[in-house]
Amino acid sequence: MPSAELERARSCPTEEIQALLYAAEEEILVALLENPRLDEQSVVLLLERKDLSATLLDRIAGHKTWLADRRVRLGLVAHPHAPRRIALRLIRELHVMDIVALTLSLTVPAEVRRLGEDLLLGKIAQLALGQKISVARRCSARVAAALLAEGRPPVLRVALENQRLTEAQVLRVLTLLSCSSPSVSIRSGQR
């Protein structure tokens, strides 16, 4: 790679950065990461590329000011080539609904999705009622079953409408709990 192109990537003005985000050569992208004019918005656009190497993603994760942006953290965790240690560390810093979305994404590695579910299960008790309803509407089957087990009627109705929830999970929740008759009637009336 000619050093003139690399130097241009390191020092180009903001207007030229957009064009360089789609460069095919990794050396240019590495040089672009050293450009002081590269902002968080441009890094988010760069993270949408699914052909980035783990080395490049590691460099992005090493930049503290970029990691202050929630969108950059989300882009790193959701990237299919993100190093596991980075994804597993950063998922803990995301918002609840971001974690819900990640647990449903098939491009996210299974290990990261599973940790996301575990984090959601650990946070259920601290969530406000409105958040629980939002999570119950969009979450994975495992999290929906945990919300069912809580037994709060507004959350029960929404969790039972979750398309990912299976009958086996509902039966497991019913057998694990000593359900009161009003709780069982709400459940059985929905399915």
Categorize the per-residue pLDDT at 188 as very low, low, confident or very high, splitting at 50, 70 and 90. Answer: very low
Q: Quick check: 185 pLDDT over 60? A: no
Give the whole-angstrom CA distance, residue 170 versus residue 148.
Answer: 8
Each residue of 66-96: pLDDT tens digit?
999 999 999 999 999 999 999 999 999 999 9
The helices-and-strands tally (H runs, E runs) of the chain is: 15, 0
Cβ pair 27, 59 in contact under 8 A: no
Categorize the per-residue pLDDT at 181 as very low, low, confident or very high, splitting at 50, 70 and 90. Answer: very low
What's the average model confidence in pLDDT over 150-167? 90
Give the whole-angstrom CA distance, residue 60 versus residue 55.
Answer: 9
| Sign of the alpha-carbon dihedral angle for 74, 75, 76, 77 | positive
Q: Quick check: 159 pLDDT over 60? A: yes
Q: At 152, which amino acid appears?
A: R
Beta-carbon contacts of residue 93 (< 8 Å; ≥ 6 apart): 73
What pTM value is reported for the model? 0.82
What's the average model confidence in pLDDT over 26-53? 94
Each residue of 102-140: pLDDT tens digit?
999 999 999 999 999 999 999 999 999 999 999 999 999
Average pLDDT, the chain: 89
What's the average model confidence in pLDDT over 172-190? 59
Give the whole-angstrom CA distance, residue 83 versus residue 41.
Answer: 22
CA 112 to chain centre: 9
Q: At 52, which amino acid appears?
A: L
The percent of residues in the chain predicted with pLDDT above 90, rounded, is 72
